[in-house]
Chain A
């Protein structure tokens, strides 16, 4: 049995700590998720464990971490469901080929650089239980991910959703998210097939195929009733809401048992949900606050408890950490910039897109935790990549203000035609 007093104390400390740091970060124009991520790191061995080891050991005894992990995984499952619900295929269609080109280039360039970096990192930070292919693909995926929710939040906070740049960024990030999770699913299958996986590869692949077909062609049709009910009555009954939660949890459990990971099933359940504005708003009203305020900080804290900046020991390790950060920025920011320029955007818009796409936020943390769980990255590489995620997320708002100041946003919005203004308002509602 868990020591409930310890668990409740942990939850209280984590929520209070994450709120405090988030408020502090918001004063510096940073998204609050940035503060919550930093709060999680501060509660781990990097700060609390280093400055007050006895307090850290009594507050977070090793025996209690399993329960904290379980709760935090529930949080990330619901959060990934919300990310899937927020994805709207329409935002991609509105930009057509340009968005497809821009988003594919913004994936492949950082992916290529991440894989190239793997040539240097593999002999130094891996062991022979992981093949080079799995490691290189993982590094590529970790470099190419974009934090869709953080990006949407930054755009909403700055009133940029309806601008040309904002809508292109949302479309690109949506494609990036779907592509990134598909690639990660493939990597998990590949790594587990090469290791001591408990699920045979044929079960994973065959089961996944059947499950995908069932979700897209079977469950999706049944779920449409939720959308209709929400449109007609403005809400779902408690029974319907419970059934919806069961669908999400079942989907997560099935992908986990197929040898993938909980997050894939939760994300897929979100993607196939109805996309009516009222339904999406209703789901967010019901789930967003408890997830973001209570459960996600637990995930950040659990991530922080696994992250130790102290394992990045010595000048050589810090040099590798710096190289990882530079490659991540060059790949994502540079790749997106090139893509936008090729698609006909001006320098300012192209740079703005690069800066926005470079924000990795929570999505990177989820990917890195999956990587650490399946053993594809080592603890020290995990810590370096966490630092990379923090740096790339932290730099987004100040760089965006520099390249795309608020006065320009206001000017662009004031110059929009009435037709565009309607479109902008619709986008604002859809995203916020």
Chain B
């Protein structure tokens, strides 16, 4: 291929896409992704007020950190730190984090079922420090009243190698 033709082809086929790439990187700066909530979290609250003993035991059965969150955009997967490593789906919408499904009272899950743990909480951010404040319910357990709680992120996903 003649040199001039090669340079023209290079400018067209490599230079133009490079400019396009710069345009994409520039326009992408306007995009916003959901707040980062991935990592390990501790939960604090007066769970002794749960009236049902089995529900109370279920919460105390979960070690610290209480749960970890795996995040894919607004979709969350909670893994409780109990012996069964129970997983629950969740979402983040703006600054509201939801864990588990909100079953109506009388759900077949009943009291003390790990899948019945449900909360909705507001997210507050300070740098990489993240905290949740909300109300935890044992969905399907008529005896236990909702418990206010606060959760603090212990470790955001660290940008390290394997």
A-B contacts besides A98-B1, A116-B24, A122-B28, 4 pairs, CB < 8 Å? A115-B28, A129-B157, A344-B1, A378-B70
Is B156 engaged at the interface, CB distance under 8 Å to the other chain? yes
- Flag if B14 contacts A73 (CB, 8 Å): no
Give the chain B neighbours of A109 by CB distance below 8 A. Answer: 13, 17
Q: CB-CB contacts of A150-194 with B at 8 A, as 1s and 0s?
A: 000000000000000000000000000000000000000001100
Q: Which residues of chain B are within 8 angstroms of A375 by Cβ–Cβ distance?
A: 38, 157-159
> For the complex, what is the distance from the CA of A1 to the CA of B104, rounded to whole Å?
46
B18 at the interface (CB under 8 A from A): yes
Q: Known contacts A125-B72, A126-B73, A132-B31; decide if A197 and B17 are in contact (CB<8 Å).
A: no
Interface assignment of A97: CB less than 8 Å from any CB of chain B: yes
Complex interface: chain B residues within 8 A of A128 (CB) = 32-36
Q: Is A218 an interface residue (CB 8 A)?
A: no
A379 touches B (CB below 8 Å): yes
Question: Do A104 and B6 contact each other (CB < 8 Å), given the known contacts A128-B34, A374-B160, A379-B72?
Answer: no
Find chain B residues with CB under 8 A from A132 CB. Answer: 25, 28-29, 31, 33
- The complex places the Cα of A118 from the Cα of B27 at a distance, in Å, of 11
CB nearest neighbor in B for A263 = B161
Are B1's CB and A130's CB within 8 A?
no
How distant is A419 from chain B, measured CB to nearest CB, in Å?
22
| CB contact under 8 A between A381 and B13, given known A122-B33, A123-B33, A261-B161 | no
How would residues 124 to 162 of chain B score, 1 for a CB under 8 Å from any chain A CB and 0 otherwise? 000010000000000000000000000000001111111
With the chains together, A123 CA to B31 CA distance in Å?
Answer: 7
A108 in contact (CB, < 8 A): yes
B72 touches A343 (CB 8 A): no
For B160, the chain A residues whose CB sits under 8 A away are: 197-198, 373-374
Interface residues of B in 8-30 (CB under 8 A from A): 9-10, 13-14, 17-18, 20-21, 24-25, 27-29
Residues of B within 8 Å of A261, CB to CB, are 161
| Contact B27 A119, beta carbon cutoff 8 Å | yes
Contact in complex: B158, A196 (CB < 8 Å)? yes
Interface residues on A, range: 35 or more
Q: Name A104's contact: one of B10, B31, B128 (CB within 8 Å).
A: B10
- Alpha-carbon distance A338/B27, docked complex (angstroms): 27
A115 touches B159 (CB 8 A): no
Alpha-carbon separation in the docked complex, A108 to B25 (Å):
14
A104 to B21, CA, bound (A): 14
Q: 29 A–B contact pairs at CB < 8 A? A: A69-B162, A101-B1, A101-B9, A105-B13, A108-B14, A115-B28, A116-B20, A118-B24, A119-B27, A119-B31, A123-B32, A124-B73, A124-B74, A127-B34, A127-B36, A128-B32, A132-B33, A133-B25, A136-B25, A136-B28, A140-B21, A196-B128, A196-B156, A197-B160, A260-B161, A339-B13, A378-B71, A379-B77, A380-B75
- Of A105, A256, A342, the residue contacting B161 (CB under 8 A) is A256
Quick check: A127 and B33 within 8 Å, CB to CB? yes
Contacts of A290 on B, CB cut-off 8 Å? none
Residue A11 at the chain B interface, CB threshold 8 Å: no
> Are B159 and A196 in touch, CB under 8 angstroms?
yes
- Take A191-B159, A344-B1 as given contacts and tell me if A101 and B6 are in contact as well, using a CB distance cutoff of 8 Å: yes
Query: How many Å lie between the Cα of A198 and that of B158 in the bound state?
Result: 9
Known contacts A104-B10, A105-B13, A191-B159: A115-B34 contact under CB 8 Å: no
Do B9 and A342 touch (CB < 8 A)?
Answer: yes
Whether B85 is near chain A, meaning CB under 8 Å from some CB there, is: yes
Output the residue of B17, B29, B32, B128 with the most chain A CB within 10 A: B17
Given A127-B33, A127-B34, A136-B24 in contact, is the A343-B1 Cβ separation under 8 Å?
Answer: yes
Take A109-B17, A132-B29 as given contacts and tell me if A379 and B70 are in contact as well, using a CB distance cutoff of 8 Å: yes
Question: With the chains together, A136 CA to B6 CA distance in Å?
Answer: 29
Say if the beta carbon of A346 comes within 8 Å of chain B: no
Task: Give the shortest distance, in Å, between A301 (CB) and chain B (any CB).
Answer: 15
Nearest Cβ distance between residue A193 and chain B, in whole angstroms?
A: 9
In the assembled complex, A56 has its CB within 8 A of some CB on chain B: no
Give the distance in Å from the alpha carbon of A195 to the alpha carbon of B74 in the complex: 20
Q: Give the interface centre of B9, B37, B72 by most chain A CB atoms within 10 Å.
A: B72
Give the residues in chain A near B73, CB-CB below 8 Å.
123-127, 378, 380
Which of B14, B28, B38, B159 is A119 in contact with, Cβ under 8 Å?
A: B28
CB neighbours (8 Å) of A62 from chain B are 85
